[in-house]
Amino acid sequence: LIILGWCFFAHADHSFDSDEGVILDGAWNLYNDRHLYSDFFEFITPGSFYLIFFIWKIFGISFWSAKIASILLLFLSAIGIYSIAQKISKNKLNILAPIFFCLATSGLPLINHNFYSLPFAIWAIYFLLLALDNSKAKYFICGGLLTGITILFLQTKGLALGTAIFLFLLGWFKGRLKTILIYLGAALIPLLIFLFWPLQTIINNLLIFPINNYQQINKVSVTSLLISTLILGLIVYLFRREKNPKIWLLLILQFFLLLTTIPLPDYYHLLIAGVPIMALTGIIINQIKNKAESIYSKLANYSIVVITMSFVLYPAIDFLVFNFKPLVSANREVFVFIENNCPGKYIYAGPFAPNVYFESRKLNATPYPWLLTGHNTPEQFLEAKEYLIKNEPSCAILAYPRSQSRFNYNQDNLVENFIRDDYYQIHGEQNFYIYKKN
């Protein structure tokens, strides 16, 4: 109950986050009978959009219904992490794993496809650990189904999870092809949902576009990734004589999940990817405590643990101390202004402010939730301009968040030039400008 209470407290804010806006806007489009991948563009798998869509269908359209459901998934993830740790080795120190996880994720955006893939991945791992104990088909089926569902929420994480587990099973269950096929077959079942879309659309949107266009605008320092890799190497060395296959499954999974962060190795993505090591928190401390080494060696090992935990927790502590505003909805005045000055059902918000559509309860006049030079293609910019001409939104918004600095965005582009030629500015503050049609 304490952990659940903390989850609600640490996420009791309504921030203006563009990444959360991607999912909210996608669900808002579905709620307004728009079709994913055809009426509006996305390059991530459909699970997150439909999750929020169904939540709204049941509980009504609200930011808080989406946020509360996300917090409950966070708590479900914490329970899963503790269950994984206990399944590996029953230990009182294992309670540190979910506590560490919930503290580290404090303040992070939860309405996000990276996060939504997490609880399913965690419980997939848990069922695979059960399967290692008694090889019952039902555990492989559950693990496979949850792996497939993970792919539905984020293709990269799900495929990394499935690949790591598949390779591990090949090594551990030599000569037991049936067992491996049961897992793979179960993992494929959730993927049948992709049959609702043309195969070429799925290939273009979910594979070709992100491979060719995602990393171009996400150039951040690899320092955090190198530190994370070093931490993983130290943990592998600590367990170098360990014969428990469950620990090695988690370490293999951690390696593959770290690979998925290479396109964008920032704090958020590394933290979400670091769950296998977090599950081992209590086990690592217990391993150090019970090792027959000198006091100096133990002190060095404990120092590494403390430094690592500080490295992981610092951004969360910084947020809670300096930026946390519980139960405060950011930028409400702006949306009141939009409501009073921008009639009609359409609006445009770019280059990367998709949350404007849901928050203003208006529809995107174009098929593109964001339009970033170097990321979106020239053809997409041209198509967006044509939709602006066709749908004639009463207002267009140009917002430039701080995170945009890494995008190398060029404001001299087809869409922004059109807006400045055909619209005049009626509001502007903090890099958020509202234009009205001439």
- Compute, in degrees rounded to 10, the torsion defined by CA atoms 253, 255, 256, 260: 130
pLDDT in tens, 29-83: 999 999 999 999 999 999 999 999 999 999 999 999 999 999 999 999 999 999 9
pLDDT over 60 (residue 292): no
pLDDT (0 to 100) of residue 311: 66
**Local structure of 161: helix, strand or coil:** helix
- Count other Cβ atoms within 10 Å, centred on residue 35: 11
Report the pLDDT averaged over residues 341-348.
96
The answer on pLDDT for 263 being more than 60 is yes
Residue pair 104/316 in contact by the 8 Å Cβ criterion: yes
Q: What is the pLDDT of residue 289?
A: 75
pLDDT: which is higher, 209 or 290: 209
Q: Which residues contact 144 (CB under 8 A, 6 or more apart)?
A: 124, 182, 183, 184, 185, 186, 187, 188, 189
Question: Please, are residues 233 and 262 in contact by the beta-carbon 8 Å criterion?
Answer: no
Percent of the chain with pLDDT over 70: 93
Cα–Cα distance between 376 and 366 in angstroms, integer?
Answer: 13
Q: CA-CA distance, 65 to 220, in Å (whole number)?
A: 33
